[in-house]
Amino acid sequence: GAVVSQHPSWVICKSGTSVKIECRSLDFQATTMFWYRQFPKQSLMLMATSNEGSKATYEQGVEKDKFLINHASLTLSTLTVTSAHPEDSSFYICSAPDRGRETQYFGPGTRLLVL
C-alpha cells in the first residue's frame, strides 16, 4: 500500500511554543491530505482538509488560527500548532487518499505533549 510518513514521531514542548508536524506521501502525489486528532480512549476526529495550492478547510470547532496548515507541494503538508497549551496534547495523525482515491493511508502519527 501507499506510504505516508510523519515527522516528528513525538514531541514535548513548553506551553506557549509552536510545534510543526510534517506529513509526507512517499510514493504518490496527494493533492489532498487530512489531519486528525485522537485523544486517549477516543476515536479519530477530523480537524481539517489540507489542499495543495489552496487554503485548508477546517471542521467545525477547529481554530484555523491555532492550527495552521500548509500544503506546499504534492507530497508535503504541515500542521503547526501555535501557542500550544497542555490541552493540545494529543496524537496527531495525517492521512492521504491513494491514487485511485478509493481509500486513505495513514501516517504513523505524532504524539504531542505540552508541558
CA-to-CA dists, residue 75 to 12, 41, 98, angstroms: 26, 30, 12
Contact call for residue 1 and another protein (CB under 8 A): yes
Q: How many residues bind another protein (CB under 8 A)?
A: 22
Q: Are 23 and 109 in contact (CB under 8 A)?
A: no
CA dist., res. 15 & res. 105, Å (int): 31
Segment lying near another protein (by CB under 8 A), choices 18-26, 43-51, 62-70, 76-84: 43-51
How is the chain split among helix, strand and coil, in percent rounded to 5? 5, 50, 45
Interface residue with another protein among 3, 12, 46, 115 (CB under 8 A) is: 46
Contact positions with another protein (CB under 8 A) in 75-114 = 91, 93, 97, 101-109, 111
Residue ranges that bind another protein, judged by CB under 8 A = 1, 32, 34, 42-46, 49, 91, 93, 97, 101-109, 111
